[in-house]
């Protein structure tokens, strides 16, 4: 892989001089323009659309709608009144607007084009939660690079990803967009994605800047309801929510998107603690802060600002550089400066950061996109191949009683369920333009392995609506088969932004189908597709084998079939716990012990009184963080702590032997966890501090070695500063967050 990564987190003296020269020439209005991000198009115009379509048809050309520009857009661009665009992916339109900015505005400052490319642009990969389940950052780096190639070819130079919000509540639909519940894993994935997006040698000859989001704590939405209020301690902010952002910046990200939520009662978009104190004073980070969609305007319903003018003032003063979509800066910022309510120096600083990014991306040298490139590049065969690799590694085998999987190609199958012959939902919650025709369904995947007469298909019910329900056909098909293959789960629009749920069981009437099919007594394999952890204790007990396939992108069906028939041995592991019941939420492995811990995280603990337990269910999740099975078995032995007494500057080295004790080659994600037993503040019962994905042939064993600098075993202390405290620690190496070999080590006083 190409290792040239562009970084946007360092100052470059030549670029600074260029920024100075530009700033010195800019009027206040031009400065404000750089802080405005908008959509250049006007409202949808049916006649305009129809006319374009007709012309394309008459000329025999592929139809690509080019919406009408907003009536004021050309003048605005000529006046330098716009700095960037949101979600414009039409090279022709981008070049047209860019020409006005570059050739017809006074200073010729190019516009930047930002877009949501969350799990691929046109080559749609599995949703990010699934991608994280690969535990394979190198693979995600490659996938991000493909996304950057395609996005760059349509004129995008700024990708509004990675979404690095730690999410511990699966009701929150946006859990689909991130890496799950853990900050350490989130850091690894954040770094990989930033590197992948910011690879230098893209086919377009242009560059991409990543924009990690949503800064910060958005995943803590109360009760999992999107956009809801959040309330967490500054320690949790620093130890859980901030680290993936810091990792993204250290990997070279030069921009960040502020979140919709509040932090300690001040919405992120106008929050000086996170935007100024942490980003600038503590981290000395020189990047650009962009608001989320209309988040400046939303300070009004938040109750922080009485009107848009005040919202603009509070945001700029707090350290927000660019306003997305709403017009607070456009309408009021110049006047706020003139009245002395906002110091010009702060506006200059914001503009400086924007220009710095534009220079670093290379926009001044290469403002235009080659309009002929995208059709040649998009969905290239090697991109589709990579989407298949990621889909394979993202799927998590949750159960496989009696080694029911892999299936024998001789078995007669009854394929039942609404997601087996489905294209569009495989695309998941974030594909900017929907192209269901790009998708391989599960039925198409199966047909690679089985002749048509070897299986029957019964959809049985819709995904989420009440009816129609065809239980009789499902039961008849099951009775006629050797094995039932259920393909069930959520539709793509049941997760993602604004799509939170209160009931995470199988939607619609799918459980009724399962119950009827289970009553036939036939062996059941269930392929479960979703944008989040589901709450499926009943299904999990009814199915003999359960494969979590997520919304796996354009190669979903092929990837499912390859796993079902054993061409590929599953290796994904969960990155967010799957609760047993809705009432357990939030459930995450890295919880605190409390003063009254349950004596056993097993299934009998609810009998204990006056302990931190439920009276009607265990504390433990149905499937824990880090969990996932394989068609082979891995045995762990010989934990060895090289130096059990460590100084603060030392590195903890722990090794263990992992043996493939089964009969197939397979990949295992070996995980290292620690626990700091006593601290000046309470510490989680376990924290992931290392992982390695290794492939072993049958019978092969490997000594896996982890090196964790002691400096990485710290936390935010009583004084809100990062500290590593001497004392006793436990360490585990194992296959998931609930099992493994255990040892101890000690950190000595300095």
Binding site for ligand BGC (CB under 6 A): 86-87, 116, 160, 213, 292-293, 497
Q: How many CB atoms lie within 10 A of CB 110?
A: 24
Q: Specify the residue for token string 């599953």.
A: 570
Q: Return all residues near 20 (Cβ < 8 A) that are at least 6 apart.
A: none
CB-based burial, 326-349: b 16+ in 10 Å, e otherwise: bebbbebbbebbeeebbeeeebbb
Least Å distance, CB 221 to ligand BGC, is 12
- When the beta carbons of 492 and 548 are compared against ligand BGC, the nearer one is 492
Residue 195 to residue 183: CA distance in whole angstroms: 18
- Structural contact between residues 590 and 243, judged by C-beta atoms closer than 8 angstroms: no
Contact predicate 558/568, CB 8 Å: no
Rounded least distance, CB 113 to ligand BGC, Å: 12
- For residue 58, the minimal CB distance to ligand BGC (Å) is 34
| Nearest Cα residue to 164 out of 266, 252, 261, 246 | 246
Beta carbon nearer to ligand BGC, 354 or 613? 354
By C-beta, is 176 or 369 nearer to ligand BGC? 176
Q: Are 469 and 517 in contact (CB under 8 A)?
A: no
Q: Which helix (H) or strand (E) holds 450?
A: none
CB of 499 to ligand BGC, least distance (A): 12
Q: What string of DSSP letters covers 189-242?
A: HHHHHHHHHTBS--TTS---EE--B-BTTGGG-GGG-TT------HHHIIIIIS
Instruction: Return d(Cα 212, Cα 430) in angstroms, integer.
Output: 16
Pairing of strands 36-38, 84-86: parallel
In the complex with ligand BGC, the residue whose CB is nearer, 162 or 417, is 162
CA angle, 622 then 400 then 132, to 5°: 60
Q: Which is nearer to ligand BGC, 84 or 632 (CB)?
A: 84
Q: Which of 292, 544, 562, 676 is labelled catalytic?
A: 292
Q: Which residues are within 8 A (CB) of 219 and not within 5 positions of it... i.e. 6 or more apart?
A: 165, 166, 167, 168, 169, 172, 174, 175, 178, 241
2 among known catalytic residues? no
Collapsed DSSP state (helix, strand, coil) of residue 55: helix
Number of H helices, E strands in the chain: 22, 26
Contact 478, 520 (CB under 8 A): yes
For ligand BGC, give the closer residue by CB, 38 or 400.
38
Question: Which structure tokens are listed for 451?
Answer: 């002749």
Residue 578's CB is within 10 A of a number of other CB atoms, namely 25
SS3 letters across 119-167 = CCCCCCCCCHHHHHCCCCHHHHHHHHHHHHHHHHHCCCCEECCCECCCC
* φ and ψ of 189, to 5 deg: -70, -35
Q: How far is the CB of 220 from ligand BGC (least distance, A)?
A: 15
> With respect to ligand BGC, which residue has the nearer C-beta, 158 or 673?
158
Rounded to whole angstroms, how far apart are CA atoms 297 and 315?
10
- Token readout for 483 is 């094995």
Contacts of 59 (CB under 8 A, 6+ apart): none
* 3-class secondary-structure state, position 72: coil
Asked if 372 and 155 touch (Cβ cutoff 8 Å), the reply is: no
> Do 725 and 718 meet the contact criterion of CB atoms below 8 Å apart?
no
Which tokens go with 488? 């069930």
* Selection from 192, 191, 200 nearest residue 248 by Cα: 191
Pick the closer one to ligand BGC by CB: 239 or 497: 497
Instruction: Give me the helix-helix angle, 137-153 and 381-394, nearest 10°.
Output: 140
Report d(CA 648, CA 712) in Å as an integer: 10
Compute the least distance from the CB of residue 359 to ligand BGC, in Å: 23
The Cα 68–Cα 71 span in angstroms is 8
User: Which of residues 224 and 418 has its CB atom nearest to ligand BGC in the complex?
Assistant: 224
**140's tokens:** 């995600």
Which residue from 389, 397, 492, 571 is spatially nearest to 127, judged by alpha carbons? 492
Nearer to ligand BGC, 258 or 716 (CB): 258
Nearer to ligand BGC, 116 or 150 (CB): 116
Q: Which residues are catalytic?
A: 292
């Amino acid at each position: 892989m190409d290792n040239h990564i562009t970084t946007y987190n360092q100052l470059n003296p030549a670029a600074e001089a260029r920024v100075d020269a530009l700033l010195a020439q800019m009027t206040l209005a031009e400065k404000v323009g750089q802080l405005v991000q908008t959509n250049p198009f006007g409202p949808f115009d049916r006649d305009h659309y129809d006319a374009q379509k007709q012309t394309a048809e008459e000329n025999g050309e592929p139809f690509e709608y080019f919406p009408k520009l907003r009536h004021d857009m050309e003048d605005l661009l000529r006046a330098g009144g716009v700095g960037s665009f949101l979600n414009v992916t039409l090279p022709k339109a981008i070049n047209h607007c860019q020409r006005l900015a570059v050739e017809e505005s006074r200073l010729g400052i190019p516009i930047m084009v930002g877009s949501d490319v969350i799990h691929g642009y046109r080559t749609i990969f599995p949703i990010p939660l699934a991608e994280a389940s690969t535990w394979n950052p190198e693979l995600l780096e490659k996938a991000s690079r493909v996304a950057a190639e395609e996005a760059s070819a349509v004129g995008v130079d700024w990708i509004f990803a990675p979404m690095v919000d730690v999410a511990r509540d699966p009701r929150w639909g946006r859990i689909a967009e991130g890496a799950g519940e853990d900050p350490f894993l989130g850091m690894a994935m954040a770094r990989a994605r930033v590197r992948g997006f910011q690879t230098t040698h893209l086919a377009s000859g242009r560059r991409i800047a990543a924009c990690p989001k949503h800064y910060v704590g958005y995943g803590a939405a109360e009760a999992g309801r999107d956009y809801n209020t959040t309330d967490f301690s500054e320690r949790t902010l620093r130890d859980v929510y901030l680290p993936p952002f810091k990792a993204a910046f250290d990997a070279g990200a030069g921009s960040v998107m502020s979140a919709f939520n509040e932090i300690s009662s001040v919405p992120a978009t106008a929050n000086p603690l996170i935007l100024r104190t942490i980003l600038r004073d503590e981290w000395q980070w020189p990047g650009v802060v962009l608001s989320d969609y209309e988040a400046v305007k939303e300070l009004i319903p938040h109750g922080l600002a009485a009107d848009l003018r005040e919202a603009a003032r509070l945001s700029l003063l707090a350290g927000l550089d660019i306003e997305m979509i709403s017009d607070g800066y456009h309408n009021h910022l110049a006047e706020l400066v003139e009245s002395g309510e906002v110091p010009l120096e702060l506006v200059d600083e914001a503009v400086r950061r924007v220009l710095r990014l534009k220079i670093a991306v290379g926009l001044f040298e290469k403002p235009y996109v080659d309009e002929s490139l995208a059709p040649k590049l998009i969905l290239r065969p090697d991109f589709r191949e990579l989407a298949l690799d990621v889909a394979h590694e993202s799927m998590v085998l949750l159960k496989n009683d009696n080694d029911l999987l892999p299936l024998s190609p001789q078995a007669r199958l009854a394929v039942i369920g609404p997601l087996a012959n489905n294209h569009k939902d495989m695309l998941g919650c974030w594909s900017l333009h929907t192209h269901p025709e790009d998708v391989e369904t599960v039925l198409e995947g199966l047909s690679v392995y089985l002749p048509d007469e070897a299986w029957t298909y019964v959809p049985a019910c819709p995904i989420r609506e009440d009816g129609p329900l065809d239980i009789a056909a499902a039961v008849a098909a099951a009775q006629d088969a050797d094995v039932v293959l259920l393909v069930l789960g959520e539709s793509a629009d049941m997760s993602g932004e604004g799509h939170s749920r209160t009931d995470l069981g199988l939607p619609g009437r799918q459980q009724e189908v399962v119950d009827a099919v289970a009553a036939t007594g036939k062996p059941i394999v269930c392929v479960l597709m979703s944008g989040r952890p589901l709450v499926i204790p009943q299904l999990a007990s009814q199915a003999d084998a359960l494969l979590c396939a997520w919304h796996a992108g354009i190669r979903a069906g092929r990837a499912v079939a390859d796993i079902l028939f054993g061409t590929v041995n599953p290796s994904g592991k969960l990155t967010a716990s799957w609760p047993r019941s809705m009432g357990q939420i939030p459930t995450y492995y890295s919880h605190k012990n409390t003063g009254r811990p349950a004596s056993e995280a097993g299934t009998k603990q609810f009998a204990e009184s006056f302990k931190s337990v439920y009276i009607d269910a265990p504390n433990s999740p149905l499937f824990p963080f880090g969990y996932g099975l394989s068609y082979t078995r891995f045995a762990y032995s010989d934990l060895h702590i090289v130096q059990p007494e460590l100084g603060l500057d030392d590195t903890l080295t722990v090794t263990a032997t992992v043996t493939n004790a089964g009969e197939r080659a397979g990949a295992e994600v070996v995980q290292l966890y620690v626990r700091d037993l006593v601290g000046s503040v309470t510490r989680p019962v376990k924290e992931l501090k290392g992982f390695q994905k290794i492939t072993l042939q049958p019978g092969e064993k490997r000594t896996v070695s982890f090196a964790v600098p002691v400096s990485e075993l710290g936390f935010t202390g009583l004084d809100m500063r990062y500290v590593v405290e001497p004392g006793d620690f436990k360490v585990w190496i194992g296959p998931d967050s609930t099992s493994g070999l255990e040892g101890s080590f000690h950190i000595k006083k300095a």
